[in-house]
Amino acid sequence: MSRFGGDAAFAAALLDPAQPAPPGLVSWNGSDPAQRFGVHRNNVIVSLIDALADSFPVVQQLVGEAFFRAMAHEFARRSPPRSPVLAWYGDGFADFVAAFPPAAGVPYLADMARLEYARLLAFHAADAAPLPVAAVAACLADPAMLPRLRLQLHSSLLLVGSPFAIASLWGAHQGIGDLAAVDPLQPECALVLRQGLSVAVIAVSPATARFIAALQRGAALGDAVQEASTKEAPFDPAPALGLLIGNDLLLGIGQAPREQGEQP
Amino acid sequence: MSDIGKPRAAVVAARGGGASLPAAAGVGLKPEHFLEVLETKPALGFFEIHAENYMVPGGPFHHYLGRIRADHALSIHGVGLSIGGEAPLDEAHLDRLAALLDRYQPESFSEHLAWSSHGGNHYNDLLPVAFNSVTLQRVCEHIDRVQHRLGRRMLLENPSTYVEFAASDRDEAAFIGEVVARTGCGLLLDLSNAYVSCTNHGRDLQAYLRALPLAAVGEIHLAGFARDVDSLGAPLLIDSHAAPVAEAVWALYDEALRFTGAVATLLERDNDLPPFPVLLAEALQAGRRLDALRAPAAMRVVAA
């Protein structure tokens, strides 16, 4: 039995083609067990690359299938999944892409991977009923109370900021807008949200992004408006609130305590 | 050691008397087909899903599965529990599975005689198990734990394999028979896997089939395979789920049904997915065979 390396030896050889096949394998007809073991090597790597290709279609479009599969192969070899739930296998792919020297020629590639992973999170985010319109109206009716309100937002709502025009680039790959007209060097904040059963990507201003990020941290409405405002440009929260309410992303409204100076 | 699974087996068998899959044809449910299935309500006995694909908090997958499940019987088929692995079962994964089963109350739950995780890594393939007393003990303990945690009898699927182990001291069918006897689990008889494994290892397919615990079959799987050769040029079949069911597997199905009687039969297709009507037509080939079995003897002659 000592010749049998067990699951550890089998597993180690799966992702490292430089290693010999694990010990203790036999075949009925004396054919090479290593060649047969190659079926598993191929199953593992192809299925993991396919899973990444499913999760990052625009990243693949940006670099082409051959480059993408080579890059995904390298990622899978270094970072096999840690869970059988493959929906989350792309977590970590953006960081890998950012540090993958051959991808340096497409400087926004890692941020596009971040955006696509955020879309995946939004797609599978927990369902939650929005606050009924009448309740929203009642909560917002008293202007004096507004600054102390705390908004509970849907977990599908995610922000991805980038020094590149990732929202416009992503849209152009869905047939929204003209790719040639996109200046990739324009910084953009992408707001990712579930609209019904699909996931939308909307480019928002840096101020709106700061406002929503503050609300997500649990800041009171007044504090969130302050964070979004600059000396030159006070932030008007109405359009952003309209976007959240209109997309059923406002789940609840509570009140911050009266004490001053508290941090969320 | 030999009686370790027995008390629990009795408990599990007693619980197994509840709902079960209808003895009809089913197909694997794919997101590409959600809308068409909802709109056409196809005359299928059941749908089967891969458990791990639905281990997400919410969103469209649950939306559609909930609606489709309302119209059809459901089989939940796990592909990531690693029952054949050396490592202890992943209790967090079992918790996710229990939650999924609780939510959808499927008529059947099944998993594989294989392993897929080791050292915290998941390899996303159904990896082979040696057949000996050590692995038998381990597999039975794992199945006992699964059945206890889920509070239901599970079906165990026979594997498709490409290599064998010097450490094996008994054949696959005998091993599966011992597992079924000791744990009280049922058998998910994958006839494509049976055909693939017997071809790949030069086994007598008829003898293999007859040596399996066919009285415990709760479901049959049919799928397509790809053809390769080993280093000596002998056929090496790859369980690809990417092609129509081979004629040889349909013939094996006819033969297996003589032993099992009419039993829920899934057409499995996971890759190179054709339009839904193509899958449906293929599944109904199984359905017609099942209908013929259920018909009274006089009608069976007419149908033939």
pLDDT of residue B6: 41
Is B32 at the interface with chain A, CB within 8 A? no
CB contact under 8 A, A87 and B56: yes
CB contact under 8 A, B118 and A83: no
Is A86 at the interface with chain B, CB within 8 A? yes
Report the relative pairing of strands B108-112 and B155-157 from DSSP bridges. Answer: parallel
- The CB-side HSE value for A100 (13 A sphere, CA atoms) comes to 25
pLDDT at A17 over 90: no
pLDDT of residue A261: 52
Which of chain A's residues have a Cβ under 8 Å away from the Cβ of B228?
Answer: 39
Provide mean pLDDT across the span A57-74: 98
Taking CA A214 as the corner, what is the angle to CA A212 and CA A219, rounded to the nearest 5 degrees?
A: 125
pLDDT of residue B171: 97
CB contact under 8 A, B162 and A36: yes
Is B125 at the interface with chain A, CB within 8 A? yes
pLDDT at A147 over 70: yes
pLDDT of residue B295: 73
User: Is position B171 within any domain?
Assistant: yes
How many domains does one find in chain B?
1
Q: What is the DSSP letter of B89?
A: P
Is B162 at the interface with chain A, CB within 8 A? yes
Cα B95 from chain centre: 21
CB contact under 8 A, B87 and A7: yes
Is A129 at the interface with chain B, CB within 8 A? no
Query: How far is B97 from B78, CA to CA, in rounded Å?
Result: 8
User: Is position B253 within any domain?
Assistant: yes
Beta bridge partners of A161: A189
Report the relative pairing of strands B226-229 and B235-238 from DSSP bridges. Answer: antiparallel
Residue reference for tokens 């087996």: B9
Instruction: Tell me the shortest Cα–Cα distance from B20 to chain A, in angstroms.
Output: 26
pLDDT of residue A179: 87
Which residues, including other chains, have CB under 8 Å from residue B108's CB and lie 6 or more apart?
B20, B21, B74, B75, B76, B155, B218, B219, B264
pLDDT at A58 over 60: yes
Is B93 at the interface with chain A, CB within 8 A? yes
pLDDT of residue A257: 74
Over chain A, what HEC string results?
CCCCCHHHHHHHHHCCCCCCCCCCEECCCCCCHHHHHHHHHHHHHHHHHHHHHHHCHHHHHHHCHHHHHHHHHHHHHHCCCCCCCHHHCCCCHHHHHHCCHHHCCCCCHHHHHHHHHHHHHHHHCCCCCCCCHHHHHHHHCCCCCHHHEEEEECCCCEEEEECCCHHHHHHHCCCCCCHHHCCCCCCEEEEEEEECCEEEEEEECHHHHHHHHHHHCCCCHHHHHHHHCCCCCCCCCHHHHHHHHHCCCEEEEEECCCCCCCCC
Of A31, A51, A82, the CB nearest to B121: A82
pLDDT of residue A4: 64
pLDDT of residue B18: 56
Average pLDDT, chain A: 94
Instruction: Tell me the shortest Cα–Cα distance from A4 to chain B, in angstroms.
Output: 7
Provide mean pLDDT across the span A30-41: 97
Provide mean pLDDT across the span A168-184: 91
User: Is position B119 within any domain?
Assistant: yes
Worst-scoring range by mean pLDDT, A69-73, A137-141, A254-258, B42-46? A254-258
Confidence at A258, pLDDT banded by 50, 70, 90? low
- SS3 call for B289: helix
- With CA atoms as reference, the chain A residue closest to B64 would be A197
Q: In tens digits, what is the pLDDT along chain B, a chain of 304 residues?
A: 343 444 444 434 433 445 799 999 999 999 999 999 999 999 999 999 999 999 999 999 999 999 999 999 999 999 999 999 999 999 999 999 999 999 999 999 999 999 999 999 999 999 999 999 999 999 999 999 999 999 999 999 999 999 999 999 999 999 999 999 999 999 999 999 999 999 999 999 999 999 999 999 999 999 999 999 999 999 999 999 999 999 999 999 999 999 999 999 999 999 999 999 999 999 999 999 999 998 765 554 444 3
Is A77 at the interface with chain B, CB within 8 A? no
pLDDT of residue A178: 85
Is A3 at the interface with chain B, CB within 8 A? yes
pLDDT at A3 over 70: no
Is A20 at the interface with chain B, CB within 8 A? no
Q: Write the CATH number for B156.
A: 3.20.20.150
- With CA atoms as reference, the chain B residue closest to A43 would be B125
**Sign of the four-CA dihedral B176, B181, B182, B183:** positive
Is A11 at the interface with chain B, CB within 8 A? yes
Count of A-B CB contacts under 8 Å? 144
Is A200 at the interface with chain B, CB within 8 A? no
CB contact under 8 A, A87 and B55: yes
Neighbour tally for B268: CB within 10 Å: 21
Cα B297 from chain centre: 30
Of B86, B125, B130, the CB nearest to A47: B125
Range of the domain at B195: 6-303
Worst-scoring range by mean pLDDT, A9-23, A233-247, A250-264? A250-264
User: Is position B1 within any domain?
Assistant: no
Which of chain A's residues have a Cβ under 8 Å away from the Cβ of B116?
Answer: 84
Has the ipTM of the complex gone over 0.90?
yes
Provide mean pLDDT across the span A81-87: 97
Greater pLDDT, A81 or A140: A81
User: Is position B16 within any domain?
Assistant: yes
